[in-house]
Amino acid sequence: MKGEDLFVILGKIDERLIEEAMQDKMYSRQKKTISWSVGIAACICLILIGSFVWNVYTDNHSDPAKLDVSSIIFEPMGMGYEGTDDLSLKNSDDINPWTKHAKLEVLPVYKNLRYNKGKLSQSYYSTADLKNHAESFAEFLKLDIISGEAVTGEEENEIYNYILHTEQGQVSTNGAGISFNIKKGYEHLISEHTRFCCGSQSEQISGVYREYSVDGELLSEEIRFYCKHDALSDNIIAFNLQSRYEVKGENYTNSRNDDFISSSLKLADYPIITWQEAQEKLLKGEYISSADESQVAGGKLSEEAIADVDLIYYTNSNPELYLPYYRFFVKYNSDSPDNMRYAYFYVCAVADEYLVNYDKYDGNFQ
């Protein structure tokens, strides 16, 4: 037996003793104050109140730890880089609550509990938890359940989804939201799905998103919703990490709510830079993008090439962290002069001093 073994065994003693050892600390401090004179005690009271406030502050506002962002991958889209075009922008609503006038000093960063080192994102929850969640949803919407099944992998605890077959459609959950394929005739249940997400009192913000091909053909159309809150930062989180989407199909309507928050852990609120500071970084080449800078209109990044900017949380490719980024819409060379294309260039909104391994791409995506 070694000291290490005794140390481990000591860890198993009665919890009450462990608890008392910490309580004694508070007791010993109280004892000190009792013997002081009333006059001094009054002053000390003020100090104690001050120190109490300080303790509360430090307990809840510990310094944010550094964030290792090396594992976050920015995937190119079908056209070889991530971006959009004029047609899509003009025919879509912009419901992002962030605007250039937003005054924000901090934003939260979350650790994604479904992160799986580049592999398929498994559920963070057990099959039983997913089943419970799907059944709670079915109960809330008064659906008639036919059967249920878990989508699992070959390995133990490899759980992806739980699917519930109901008379009204198919419910599927991975623990980070619910997808409901609603059969024709049951579309009234969409409002119940909203109520499930937002509660009956909460107001919703909604907008239509349309995406077009290079030839101008409408590829997809979906309605995006988020529950409205009072604070801007809450709306930013709701928009980015808790949106609901509706897509109409031939025989069904898909109503899906993403809820990245339910499978993540808030790390802390982090100081963020302004969009102007982010733009300076962008122009200095300190950006992340799957686009090629040499293809930017005019041949290089410049203020004139920047068409717009917004702030988003990057959630593609199941990242390890949910971080806020400034996303710049940069004019990009295109074969279709009638439909200007824009490539996305990202600059992390979290202040540099909190980022570790923040590699900026050189314009070539590997």
Partner 1 sequence: MDDIDIIKLYFDRSEKAINKTSEKYGRYLMRIAENILFSYQDSEECVNDTYLKAWNSIPPKSPKSLRAYLGRITRNSAINLYKSYSAEKCGGSVADIVLSELEACIPSELTVEKKIDEKFLVRLLEEFLKAQKETNRNIFLRRYWYCESVSQIAKDFSLKEGTVTSILYRMRLKLKEKLEKEGIAV
Positions touching partner 1 (CB under 8 A) are: 1-22, 24-25, 28-29, 32, 58-60, 62, 65-66, 111, 113, 129, 132, 261-262, 265-266
The torsion defined by the Cα of 138, 139, 142 and 146, in degrees rounded to 10, comes to: 50
**111/183 with CB nearer partner 1:** 111
**15/215 with CB nearer partner 1:** 15
**150/247 with CB nearer partner 1:** 150
> Which amino acid makes up residue 161?
N
In the complex, least distance from residue 26 CB atom to partner 1, rounded to whole angstroms: 9
**234/292 with CB nearer partner 1:** 234
88 sits in which H/E element: helix 86-90
In the complex, least distance from residue 93 CB atom to partner 1, rounded to whole angstroms: 30
In the complex, least distance from residue 61 CB atom to partner 1, rounded to whole angstroms: 10
- Rg of the chain over Cα atoms, rounded to whole angstroms, equals 26
The torsion defined by the Cα of 26, 32, 36 and 42, in degrees rounded to 10, comes to: -20
**229/327 with CB nearer partner 1:** 229
**113/273 with CB nearer partner 1:** 113
In the complex, least distance from residue 31 CB atom to partner 1, rounded to whole angstroms: 8
In the complex, least distance from residue 265 CB atom to partner 1, rounded to whole angstroms: 6
> Which amino acid makes up residue 137?
F
**89/268 with CB nearer partner 1:** 268
* Distance between CA atoms of residues 87 and 85, nearest Å: 6
Q: Which residues contact 173 (CB under 8 A, 6 or more apart)?
A: 130, 133, 134, 137, 161, 162, 179
* Distance between CA atoms of residues 56 and 282, nearest Å: 39
In the complex, least distance from residue 133 CB atom to partner 1, rounded to whole angstroms: 8
Among 356, 348, 366, smallest CA distance to 287 is for 348
Among 325, 315, 190, 227, smallest CA distance to 263 is for 315
In the complex, least distance from residue 3 CB atom to partner 1, rounded to whole angstroms: 3
